């Protein structure tokens, strides 16, 4: 019996890298389908392999896992967010951050395509950047020295790049590690969405950072709220930080009197835009379906 990490999944096959660095192809035994416990890229697995074919016998406990993209045991997620083409959506960004907070995966925000803004738009957008920095998130912008910004972040990590189709995930990874030579796509101006260039999740060794980095398929929407509504506030760090001061222990931060969160919004220590995301997600989880606000109008060109 051997042990290794699944680095690629395609058409029912799983490529596993063992401790010697050798990659072997396997399939999952039927018991996983029966238990609805599908192996994910990033999983550690016990397997047997002979003559280029093998079977996964057992999966190790996961440190964490994500539904979108489907990957397990990651240390860091680079959330690639375009400011234009496709248009910036704070709603979509906050959905991803909530999912990462729920999975206990550290996010790093990367804002791409700032070069397509004029000077005023770029200066105005710094207000949004500052909002996320105040929350405590690490932020990198496409106008930064990317090598200097990302090298200490990526070193010795298992990293997933995620974001909307056309946001620039593959372009970023090609800049950081040209040997990846990932295919990049263009954005359809009619649809304001990118053409899908990445169709599978693969972990790729990048010796420069001693890291494993995953490029993942993009998406045009992101609706993953698979937890009770009472937990939502825990996944907004700035809300979690003050919620203990609310008058009621079970405060939903929507309509109750004596709500410390709403007071913080009124005082400006919690941004109105972030609270709007919280309120919208709360209503979605409760079963109401408000109109999905895809674009933050302030940045529309």
Establish whether 112 is an annotated binding residue: yes
166: alpha, beta or left? (left if phi > 0; alpha if psi -120 to 50): left
Establish whether 298 is an annotated binding residue: no
Establish whether 81 is an annotated binding residue: no
Nearest CA among 40, 289, 264 for reference residue 160? 40
117: alpha, beta or left? (left if phi > 0; alpha if psi -120 to 50): beta
Establish whether 196 is an annotated binding residue: no
Establish whether 119 is an annotated binding residue: no
Q: What is the token pair recorded at 279?
A: 């309120």
Q: Give the residue carrying structure tokens 């680095």.
A: 7
Q: What is the DSSP letter of 270?
A: S
Establish whether 246 is an annotated binding residue: yes
Q: Are strands 202-206 and 71-72 parallel, antiparallel or unpaired?
A: unpaired
Establish whether 200 is an annotated binding residue: no
Establish whether 167 is an annotated binding residue: yes
Neighbours of 215 (CB within 10 A): 24
Establish whether 277 is an annotated binding residue: no
Establish whether 37 is an annotated binding residue: no
Establish whether 49 is an annotated binding residue: no
User: How many whole angstroms separate alpha carbon 194 and alpha carbon 250?
Assistant: 42
User: How many whole angstroms separate alpha carbon 104 and alpha carbon 135?
Assistant: 16
Neighbours of 248 (CB within 10 A): 10
- Judge whether 142 and 53 are in contact, CB under 8 Å: no
Neighbours of 100 (CB within 10 A): 22
User: How many whole angstroms separate alpha carbon 42 and alpha carbon 64?
Assistant: 10
Establish whether 54 is an annotated binding residue: no
Establish whether 165 is an annotated binding residue: yes
Establish whether 113 is an annotated binding residue: yes
Establish whether 114 is an annotated binding residue: yes
Q: What are phi and psi of 253, to 5 degrees?
A: 65, 30
Dihedral (Cα; 286, 287, 288, 291), 10-degree rounding:
110
R_g (Cα) of the chain, nearest Å:
21
Residue 273, SS3 per DSSP: helix
Q: Which residues are annotated as a binding site for Zn(2+)?
A: 246, 251, 253, 259
Q: Which residues are annotated as a binding site?
A: 112-115, 163-171, 246, 251, 253, 259
Q: Which residues are annotated as a binding site for GTP?
A: 112-115, 163-171
């Amino acid at each position: 019996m051997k042990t290794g990490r699944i680095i690629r999944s395609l058409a029912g096959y799983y490529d596993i890298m063992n401790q010697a660095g050798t990659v072997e192809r396997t399939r999952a035994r039927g018991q996983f389908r029966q238990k609805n416990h599908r192996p994910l890229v990033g999983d550690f697995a016990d397997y047997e392999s002979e003559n280029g074919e093998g079977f996964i016998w057992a999966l190790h406990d996961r440190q964490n896992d994500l539904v979108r993209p489907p990957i397990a045991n990651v240390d860091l997620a680079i959330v690639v967010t375009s400011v234009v083409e496709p248009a910036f959506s704070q709603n979509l960004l906050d959905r991803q951050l909530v999912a990462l907070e729920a999975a206990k995966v550290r996010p790093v925000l990367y804002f791409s395509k700032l070069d397509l803004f004029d000077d005023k738009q770029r200066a105005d957008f710094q207000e949004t950047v500052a909002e996320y920095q105040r929350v405590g998130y690490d932020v990198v912008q496409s106008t930064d020295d990317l090598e200097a910004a990302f090298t200490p972040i990526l070193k010795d990590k298992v990293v997933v790049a995620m974001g909307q189709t056309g946001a620039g995930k593959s372009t970023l990874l090609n800049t950081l590690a040209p040997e990846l030579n990932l295919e990049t796509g263009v954005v359809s101006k009619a649809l304001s969405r990118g053409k899908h260039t990445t169709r599978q999740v693969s972990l790729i060794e990048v010796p420069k950072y001693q890291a494993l980095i995953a490029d993942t398929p993009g998406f045009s929407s992101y609706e993953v709220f698979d937890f009770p509504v009472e937990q939502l506030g825990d996944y907004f760090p700035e809300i979690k930080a003050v919620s203990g001061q609310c008058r009621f222990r079970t405060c939903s931060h929507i309509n109750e009197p004596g709500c410390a969160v709403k007071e913080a919004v009124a005082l400006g220590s919690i941004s109105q835009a972030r609270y709007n995301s919280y309120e919208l997600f709360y209503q979605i989880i409760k079963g109401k379906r408000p109109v999905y606000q895809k674009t933050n109008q302030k940045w529309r060109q």
